[in-house]
Amino acid sequence: MSSDVLGRIEKLREQLDQYNYEYYVLDNPTVLDATYDELMKELIDLEEKYPEYKTDTSPTVRVGGQALDVFEKVIHKIPMLSLGNAFGEADLKDFDRKIRQITNKEVAYVAELKIDGLAVSLHYENGNFTQGATRGDGSVGEDITHNLKTIKSIPLRLKQPATIEVRGEAFMAKSTLEKLNQEREAKGEVLLANPRNAAAGSLRQLDPKIASKRGLDFYSYAVSDAESLGFKTHSDSLNYLDELGFKTNSERLVCNGIHEVINFVSTWQEKRSSLPYEIDGIVIKVDSLELQKELGFTAKSPRWAIAYKFPAEEVSTKIIDIELSVGRTGVVTPTAILEPVKVAGTIVRRATLHNEDIIKGKDLRIGDNVVIRKAGDIIPEVVKVQLDKRTGEEKPFAMPTNCPECDSDLERIQGEVALRCANSSCPAQIREGLIHFVSRNAMNIEGLGEKVVEQLFAEGLIHRISDIYALKAEQLLPLERMGDKSVQNLLKSIETSKTNSLEKLLFGLGIRHVGAKAAKTLAQSFNTIDDLMSASADSILLIPEIGDKMAESIHDYFENEESQKLIHNLKHYGVNTVYLGAKKSEVSTESLFIGKTIVLTGTLSKLGRKEATEKIEELGGKVTGSVSKKTDLLIAGEEAGSKLDKAHQLGIEIWDEDRLLQELED
């Protein structure tokens, strides 16, 4: 009987592995989804009934197992180095020239699409997937085996019993990201900026069930130490990966000389938007493994490979209209409504125009044909008007004199380009202020996303910030998408926010000119909101980094009777108004961070950039956004880029995340 059960289990695994391979690797399914689901259910039932037959490589592990408490570190025996960058044809020719100078040979290259995802390493023992890790800092990554097993294009058992390390890119398809963002928008959650961030965030989940729902994909692009396995060329090792059952990108080309590489780059620069996934460039590698060995490495990258980075994609479309929105500080912002157009893989329908001066400077008119691009491949912006396409029917645009939301007068404050609504009771300002108050960097009330806040505001349940703390379950339950569990979770999150330190509250209040950093400085300096409220503008101005405008704005805010009433109500509901962090005077003189200017770059997977900034500042450090000669220290997380390169050039001290954590603990 047991042999019959084991035989059936093995048969099911074999069938499901093959169907997975056909569907996710070959893109050629041979069975209906219903048939696949039926076989998977049978296998799950058998493994639950006979747990002694369950294995780590069964197709059932793809649904996600138990959550982890922490990511374990993985040391890469062969470092996963980053690549140098090329930004134009001249850089590629220079790369080729240096290689030919060293080798005295004409060189064949392999050109491959540079998928915008997360680099990972996969280990197999006798054909079985045993471990997967992130790139990390190149030398040490994190064990994410539990999440990688949920990616159906990663084979759990190879077609041959190979012991091998394979490297590749985990990524999220454009359509998957679009669907995921639609779901997040419906829940009032923050949208994911791009497929790369979405993929990286999915693979850093401690709970694999979350990763299993994200629909990630994978392309393998290298065999680690391929020469020791008997291969002569990189292209041969990629063909071998195909034989083992890996998914490799067929859009690759062996090029005889740099001119063929340049043609390949040019072709895909034009065709990139047609791909179902994002690419941000082309990777070029010397094909001969013997020549790769001869060329060797610099301190941070191989000499035999380079990444060509595409410029931001620019496309043409038409401005259908210009809409106005009112922010929490009353600033009226114009937005171009566009004929839908695909840019960098996503459909763009809107682009911010910032202010009236931008519209006048670019002479933008409704009906104009314009060139747009995504700044940083994320935020759509209008680059220029295509004047040669004007017909004379375009309509000039002028900013109104009254608020589009409440019809109050608009005013331009001296020295500023923005128009502001003068009515502090403007519904748009109140609504945007509520959204700001609950946001992650302010009071961080989970479950109160933008859509939920708008719903509560429209229903009249919240009007002032303090109304949030008066919400009751019986008010929320009748609302759309508000079930018992979601309501209880929301009320719990609201209650938790009461314990935030003072700086979170100060930032959440939305005082003009006061950002998160200034809020922290004020909280450290005054300790309680009562002391800050009673301070004069001159005494506030004595605080380092607080200027005239900010000091006056803070003083005016707390002089206002409505503001005083709000603070009184927040105290009534039990919201903390005291700074809970370390005061500057309490920072140890032995702290390594005192007086140092520090830059964070890359992804800090354990601590997170926001928390790292807070801890460094509590210990006397100053965190800035750019690397310069004044920078004392750079903290480099995973996938660190140009800031790390610049720090190397300037000879700035560099730490990885583990070193930062160690010093913070000490």
| Strand, helix or coil for residue 92 | helix
CA 491 to chain centre: 28
The tokens for 125 are 């023992």
| Strand, helix or coil for residue 407 | coil
The amino acid that residue 358 corresponds to is I
Helical H segments across 509-546, by residue range: 516-526, 529-533, 537-541
Q: 335: part of which helix (H) or strand (E)?
A: strand 332-343
> How many secondary structure helices (H) and strands (E) does the chain include?
24, 24
β-strand 633-636 against 597-601: which pairing, if any?
parallel
DSSP for 239-289 reads HHHHHHT--B-S-EEEEESHHHHHHHHHHHHHHGGGSSS-EEEEEEEESBH
Is-catalytic flag, 293? no
**Catalytic entry in 41, 114, 187, 571:** 114
The amino acid that residue 318 corresponds to is K
Helical H segments across 27-142, by residue range: 33-49, 89-103
The dihedral over CA atoms of 420, 423, 428, 434, expressed in degrees to the nearest 10, equals 100
Side-chain half-sphere CA neighbours of 420 within 13 A = 15
Q: 582: part of which helix (H) or strand (E)?
A: none
The amino acid that residue 663 corresponds to is E
Cβ-count burial 384-410 (b if 16+ within 10 Å, e if not): ebeeeeeeeebeebebeeebebeebeb
The tokens for 500 are 């935030």
| Strand, helix or coil for residue 122 | strand
Q: 449: part of which helix (H) or strand (E)?
A: none
Angle, vertex CA 476, rays to CA 475 and CA 479, nearest 5 = 110
Angle, vertex CA 278, rays to CA 274 and CA 282, nearest 5 = 90
| Strand, helix or coil for residue 113 | strand
The tokens for 358 are 């931008």
The tokens for 444 are 């961080």
Q: How far apart are CA 498 and CA 488, in angstroms?
A: 16
Q: Which residue has the tokens 């930032």?
A: 507
| Residue pair 346/333 in contact by the 8 Å Cβ criterion | no
Give the catalytic positions in this structure: 114
